[in-house]
Amino acid sequence: GNSVTQMEGPVTLSEEAFLTINCTYTATGYPSLFWYVQYPGEGLQLLLKATKADDKGSNKGFEATYRKETTSFHLEKGSVQVSDSAVYFCALSDPYNQGGKLIFGQGTELSVKP
Amino acid sequence: DSGVTQTPKHLITATGQRVTLRCSPRSGDLSVYWYQQSLDQGLQFLIQYYNGEERAKGNILERFSAQQFPDLHSELNLSSLELGDSALYFCASNRGIGGTNYGYTFGSGTRLTVV
């Protein structure tokens, strides 16, 4: 079945450092890919998405490119801030399988120090 | 405020008891999804409803059940509770059946503690 694998955390960075969180997926169809962010004590918020191969999603300085050849959707940000500290979830949704429900990776905790 | 409302925010109950978690989807959204988030299992999909009908089932235990009412709010019923049921329960909603073009909007969750 479909699945998502993320790099394990926690990831600890200094402010203004470059961020990469790796995400790879397994899917039988043509999924859409998402990054969600969860701040402490809150629900998940959609950060960005890409619906087809080679699409780049971007938001708030974060970017991720849908790479079908490597089945990856790595999250990047050029310069992180303390306020980016949160848990980041990669997810996929395949509308032609499993009702389009979101399947999540295990989450990667990011801690940014001043 | 995401527009998805979950109540209660916190719930503490004893083993063997039954609880009901409530979710009101964002205005205009027809689909409701329930997820369980625990430290060891991560985010697990439980069940999906679309316009009152069950559409997909995930790793939902037989002790758990859900329904979506005509006004589109949904309730998740957890019975014969065990310590291992302690988790955050999230509800999410979107406009259609698939999430591709609409995304999902999550509520802030209900934290269930079983003692």
Query: Count of CB atoms within 10 A of residue B7's CB?
Result: 12
A57 interface with B at CB cutoff 8 Å = no
DSSP letter (8 states) at residue A73: -
Beta-bridged to residue B24, according to DSSP, are B5
Average pLDDT over residues B9-17: 97
pLDDT, mean over chain B: 91
pLDDT bin (cut points 50, 70, 90) of residue B59 is: confident
For residues B23-32, b (16+ Cβ closer than 10 Å) or e, as one string? bbbbeebbbb
Predicted confidence at residue B82, as pLDDT, reads: 97
DSSP class per residue in A17-71: --EEE-EEEE-SS--EEEEEEE-TTS-EEEEEEE-STT-EEEETTEEEE-BTTTT
Compute CA distances B90 → A70, B37, B107, whole Å.
31, 7, 6
Per the listing, tokens 């964002």 go with B26
Beta-bridged to residue B6, according to DSSP, are B23
In chain B, residues 28-67 whose CB comes closer than 8 Å to chain A: 33, 42-43, 45, 48, 55-56, 58
In one letter, which amino acid is B49? Y
How far A79 CA lies from chain B's nearest CA (Å)? 26
Compute CA distances A7 → A24, A62, A68, A73, whole Å.
9, 17, 18, 12
For residue B70, the SS3 value is coil
- What's the rounded Cα separation, in Å, for the pair B75 and A26? 32
- Mutation target vs A (from B49, B106, B110, B111; most A CBs, 10 A cutoff): B106
- The closest alpha carbon to B37, from B111, B113, B98, belongs to B111
Residues of A in contact with B42 (CB under 8 A): 104-107
Average pLDDT over residues B55-76: 94
> Is the CB of B100 less than 8 angstroms away from the CB of A101?
no
Residues of B in contact with A1 (CB under 8 A): none
Q: Which residue in A has a C-alpha nearest to residue B4's C-alpha?
A: A43
Compute CA distances B70 → A80, B67, B107, whole Å.
45, 10, 20
Average pLDDT over residues B76-100: 88
Q: Along the 114 residues of chain A, how does pLDDT read in single tens digits?
A: 788 999 888 999 999 999 999 999 998 878 889 999 999 888 899 999 998 899 999 999 999 999 999 999 999 999 999 999 999 999 998 766 555 678 899 999 999 999
B99 interface with A at CB cutoff 8 Å = yes
Average pLDDT over residues B12-17: 97
